[in-house]
Structures are given as C-alpha cells and as structure tokens.
Amino acid sequence: MQTIQEKNKAIVRRFNEEFIIKGNLDAFEEIVAPGFINHTGVPGYNDRIGTRNFITQLLHPALPDIQLEIFDMIAEDDKVVTHKAFTGTLQASFMGQAPTGRKATLRIIDIIQLKNEQYIAHWSIRELITT
C-alpha cells in the first residue's frame, strides 16, 4: 500500500510530466485545487488560473521544445520538495530574457503542499540560465 508521501510524489510527477511538459489541461484541472495559491508566483499569475496561464501563455511559447529532468524529490507530511530543471530553446521573451534561439535552462527548487490529492499551495526559487 502506498503511503501518502508516495502518492503525493506521484501527483507532483504527473503534474510536471502531463501538464507542464505535455500541456494536458485535464491533468491541471484534476490536480490543482480551486483555492490554490502560488506564494512566489509572478505578479498576476499567483492563483489557480494565473498559474495555468503562466505555463500555457508564457512558459510554453518561450520553450516550445521543453524537456524535464527531476534531480531530487522529497516528501514529508503534506509537502513535496522538488529540485528540477526545464530545458528548451528560448523562442520568446521569458522572465526578462529576450528570445535567443539557443538553449535555456530553468532551474527550480519548489515546495508543493497537497490536500486530498490536489495542489493547494506552491513556493519556489527559480533561475533562468541561457547559453
């Protein structure tokens, strides 16, 4: 039988793979709770709809060939911490960086809080590295 921590890690992995990488909006709707808050989100993009729009309207156009590498995932109680990197070709302005047509890496350490198998809160530290 899976522990709550194992279930939560699987949900976080699914969110990253299904929604962020593949753009599956159904996965977003299932995983992100109506009252979700992104405590470190870009201004204007820190609620549920804003988070969806940040990924679909800003991240996906900027890195249309986006790839994911998860380095570490740690779960405790109702939180999952992930150290990960998204890479792709920077094709649109993103996080203050003009498009270069070259490889960019968005390195992130984030904390997701879950309740009833849904995201309810998010905190992150992000860094965009371009080559």
Domain boundaries, the chain: 4-130
Across the chain, mean pLDDT equals 97
- The vertex-113 CA angle with 84 and 68, nearest 5°, equals 20
pTM of the model as a whole:
0.95
pLDDT at residue 95 above 90?
Answer: yes
Give the sheet arrangement for strand 67-76, strand by strand. Answer: 32-38, 118-130, 103-115, 79-89, 67-76
Domain 4-130 sits in CATH 3.10.450.50? yes
Average pLDDT over residues 92-108: 97
pLDDT of residue 131: 83
For the stretch 114-123, pLDDT in tens is 999 999 999 9
Give CA–CA dist 67/115, Å, rounded: 28
pLDDT at residue 54 above 90?
Answer: yes
CB burial class (10 A; 0-12, 13-18, 19+) of residue 6?
A: exposed
